[in-house]
Structure 1
Amino acid sequence: MSQHLHTLPNGLRVAVAPMPHVETSSVGVWVDVGGRHERADENGVAHMLEHMAFKGTERRSARAIAEEIEGVGGYINAYTSREQTAYYARALKEDLDLATDIIADIVLNSTFPEDELARERDVVRQEIAQVNDTPDDLVFDNLQEAAYPDQAAGRSILGRPERVGRFNRDELRGFMDRGYCASRMVLAAAGAVDAEAFLKMAEDRFGDVADAPMDAPEPGVWKGGRIVDDRAIEQVHLTFGVEGVAYDDPDFTAVQVLSSLLGGGMSSRLFQEVRENRGLAYSVFSFAGSMMDGGMFGVYAATAPEDLAELQPVLVDEIRRTATDVTEAEIARSRSQIKAGMVMALESSSARLEQIARQTLIYGTPQITADMLQKVDQVDEAAIRRVASRLFDGGCTPAVAVIGPASHLEPEDAFAKRFR
């Protein structure tokens, strides 16, 4: 499948992945700026900025933005992560120019109307309150904070309600001016797209974007620790993690296969042992998250309070067993799961858009699918044992987060010793 990368004279990169047999086009701007680029006193500003981008530009009101894209049956959205912010739209192929124009307008020409900002402060505070009322979401924010305390890498992307309620236009504009510069942006399109015509659109709409690169975020330094929110709910939500790997780490692909093997589906070790054999949890899975300079490998499970004492050692034992006891059959099954996900993404213009945009930000260019599949195929038993030993036998202080009745929680020191 063809893909193209072009850099405009101002440093903005344009990635295109034509998909000749589809009828839709997806387009978006990915900005190499997120929660990690905030100062401590502006925590949450990247997310608030993403919200406010839709609230009016020099040419369109908030309502006009929604009506124009939905008037042609299209879809528009955005998200903020710790390291990136994305604005994207999907429409029929004949409406790609309109979708691109709207994306360019909200990213480059937002006016942050004061009346809209006043309303959006309340909306974001409601979003924060919703997360606080959703323990299986909140527990992951707490886990990140436990892993990286008092650091940008550990702070909530949404911010704190009291600070969100004081954001003003100057703070939003200041953060945008620092971070939304040409060399930190990738404009991408996938689907029914003519690469040459889209490059002309990019030059017309983004050719004048200034470039004033902001400082790199402070490095994430793994500390580990424990955050316990002992509240009266029906289940205990437990998650814990150890220091993982960065995107460019040679073990990145092997760690992804290990995560799939350990807790990536109904056939995974954790699902079979924790749910099927012991009935200790309805939901249990593992995850491997990466950043530019590090990452986390972890496990989540929700259980009845009285089963927490049994669950904790079972989870750790299954994790540690992968360093000494894996089979080629389960590795092959995990490889197949990952490869299928990669290939299936090629059939959706929106998934392909996300793929090429993120890869360009992370690696400098979209990755060749055949090369990625080959890397997965190269993960063998020796690689799984090696990365399992690296992650779990290095004496790393685990990060632990718990929400729910915690009377049966193992003491912090005793749990940490399981990783040594």
Structure 2
Amino acid sequence: MDYQVHTLPNGIRLLYKHAATNITHTCFVINAGARDEQPHKDGLAHFIEHLLFKQTERRNTNQILNRLELVGADLNAYTTKEYTCIHASLRKQHLERTLDLFEDIIFHSTFPEEELIKERSVILDEIASYQDQPEEAIQDDFEGMLFKGHALSNNILGTEESVNQLNREDIAGFIASTYNTHEMVFAVIGDYDFNKLIKLAEKYLGVVPANTSAKVRQKPGKPKGELLRFQKPISQTHGVIGSLAYDSAHQHKSGLLLVNNLLGGMGMSSRLNLEIREKHGIAYTIESNYTPLTDTGIFSIYFGTDEEKAAKAMKLIHKELKKLRDNKLGALQLHQAKQKFIGQIALAEENRLSLIISMAKSLVDFNCIDTLQQVFDKINIVTAEQILEITNEVFDEASLLTLLFEPKD
């Protein structure tokens, strides 16, 4: 098998993938994110992620931060719409030290009021920093409009108003209702005996009380296509064009990942980059992205250009989308697109931290993980006819939402 899994009595799962290396990458993935926040509690999941590093029943902030840094290990965390992830990279012999810390901060944080006050200030600075970066802010605003009225519209960082109102009661309620042990995965990629890892997990995680509270996530509705413009104190026009896309379990997910890579994915040879940057020289950055979620997905194209070139850039983007909707890929084009994408995926496996986090999320969502060969097989069976179907569904002109940040006059 490509990986091994052991489930503890409380539902927490241990995921292990062997790698012959002295460096270990590990993560703790919790199926709780911004979309699980109650109304007017925007930013709560991210707020908790920050506070996990502040104080526990056994450690203060300095002891938490020094626990791994003193042995040269790297500790970090992040929050998404659907997950909270704590991760670390370390030398092989320090895994028990790391798991001890993971268990402590996730299950024994005390969230003292003085730390809440300090961390609010830090997050407000983080929000201000993002607002100063239009290429970042426009992505958040685009998703807010794409999912308007739904919990997925929540900005992961929250707003100044919502963050200032978050309190310990909110934190306790969110953890009780979303930190479900059967939706947690402790994952390791490294060189260990799996039975010894099981004993380690039982020692530190087996004592955690089970929490199996039911979590209900509502699927978002489909927005109407429209063009929205906002003036900002910026020097360039920034734009996002996109729509809802397939969820992570959809039969066409692999096909859309392939199309996205062909259109505006990694590398300089994507269609959008060749047309808009290389041929016409009207945008430094032009890229497309597809993010599948558990019950929906996000497809988007981002570009930044001078104000007077924005209309032409949008026209060229729509031209490329129309080509994909109207013209079936030839056999050679399809083969080349598959080979390029498969090669990029194979290279990405070298980033072992990203790999083990991705595997842990897959275990949370599907209770299984595709091997690299299974991923390749799913890409290889995509047909030109399926790509036509995908592009006509996802790139439909009538459903595309366009958001522009334009310089003030």
TM-score for both structures, normalised by structure 1: 0.92
Q: In the alignment, residue 106 of structure 2 is paired with which amino acid? A: V
Deviation track 1:328-359 (CA, whole Å, cap 9, x = no partner) reads 34433332333233323433431231121111
Residue by residue over 1:390-417, the C-alpha shift from the partner in whole angstroms, topping out at 9 and shown as x without a partner, is 2224x6422222112388xxxxxxxxxx
The one of 294, 297, 309 aligned to 1:295: 297
Aligned-pair CA distance for 1:107: 0.8
Spell out, residue by residue over 1:225-266, the C-alpha distance to the aligned partner (whole angstroms, 9 max, x if none).
444321232210000102210000000000000001111131
Question: How many Å separate the matches in 1 of 2:318 and 2:408?
Answer: 18
1:418 corresponds to which residue?
A: none
Partner of 2:119: 120
1:386 Cα shift? 2.1
Match of 1:153 in 2: 152
Letter in 2 for 1:308: A
Q: Give per-residue Cα distances to partners, 1:66-115, cap 9 Å, x unaligned.
A: 11101111011111000111011111001111111111111111111221
Aligned counterparts of 2:348 and 2:310: Cα–Cα separation in 1: 37
Residue equivalent to 2:210: 210
Equivalence for 1:375: 378
**CA, structure 1 residues 330+126, in 2 after alignment: closer, same or farther (shift >3 Å)?**
farther
- Who is 2:282 aligned against? 280
**Aligned residue for 1:97?**
96
The equivalent residue for 2:260 is 259
List alignment gaps of at least 5 residues for structure 1.
408-420
2:403 pairs with 1:401? yes
Partner in structure 2 of residue 416 of structure 1: none
Q: SS state of the match for residue 323, structure 1? A: helix
Partners of 2:288 and 2:333 in 1: how far apart?
15
Residue 220 of structure 2: aligned partner: 220
Q: Does 1:346 align with 2:344?
A: no
The change in CA–CA distance for 1:406 and 1:323 in structure 2 (over 3 A counts) is: farther
Q: Provide the residue aligned with 2:48 in structure 1.
A: 49
> For the aligned residues, what is the CA RMSD?
1.7
* Structure 1 residues 34-73: aligned runs within 5 Å: 34-73=33-72
Deviation at 1:286? 0.9
SS at structure 1 position matched to 2:165? coil
Report the 3-state secondary structure (helix = DSSP H, G, I; strand = E; otherwise coil) of the residue aligned with 2:209.
Answer: coil
**Residue segments in structure 2 that go unaligned for 5+ positions in a row:** none
Equivalent residue pairs, number: 405
- Equivalence for 1:335: 338
Deviations 1:4-36 (A, max 9, x none): 1122222222211111x2111112210111001
Q: 1:412 corresponds to which residue?
A: none
Report the equivalent of 1:85: 84
Could you say what secondary structure the match of 1:200 adopts?
Answer: helix
Q: Distance in 2 between matches of 1:330 and 1:254?
A: 14
User: In structure 1, what is the equivalent of residue 4 of structure 2?
Assistant: 4
Instruction: Give the partner amino acid of 1:244.
Output: A
SS for the counterpart of 1:230 is strand
Greater shift, 81-90 or 379-388, is seen at 379-388
CA contact (8 A) 1:89 1:103 kept: no
Give yes or no for the alignment of 1:166 onto 2:165: yes
Alpha-carbon contact 2:138-2:405 (below 8 Å) kept:
yes
User: TM-score, length-normalised on structure 2?
Assistant: 0.95
Task: Measure, in 2, the Cα distance between the counterparts of 1:268 and 1:117.
Answer: 45
Which residue identity is paired with 1:370? Q
| Percentage identity across paired residues of the two chains | 28
Local SS of the residue matching 2:358 = helix
Alpha-carbon distance in 2 for matches of 1:338, 1:195: 32
1:214 and 1:120, CA in 2 relative to 1: closer, same or farther beyond 3 A?
farther
Instruction: Note the C-alpha offset of 1:315.
Output: 0.5
Q: Distance in 2 between matches of 1:29 and 1:302?
A: 36
2-structure distance, mates of 1:191, 1:330: 38
8 A Cα contact 1:24 1:349, kept in partner: no
Residue 313 of structure 1 aligns to which amino acid in structure 2?
Answer: K
Tell me, in whole angstroms, the C-alpha distance in 2 between the residues paired with 1:363 and 1:345.
Answer: 21
User: Contact between 1:305 and 1:406, CA under 8 Å: does it hold in 2?
Assistant: no
What's the CA shift for 1:379? 2.0
Contact 2:233 2:408 in 1 (8 A): no
Contact 2:234–2:408 (Cα < 8 Å) also in 1:
no
For residue 385 of structure 1, what is the aligned residue in structure 2? 388
> What amino acid is the match of 1:255?
L
Question: What's the offset of the Cα at 1:288?
Answer: 0.8
Contact 1:77/1:87 (8 A) holds in 2: yes
Tell me, yes or no, if structure 1 residue 366 matches structure 2 residue 369.
Answer: yes
In 2, the alpha carbon distance for the partners of 1:12 and 1:65 equals: 23
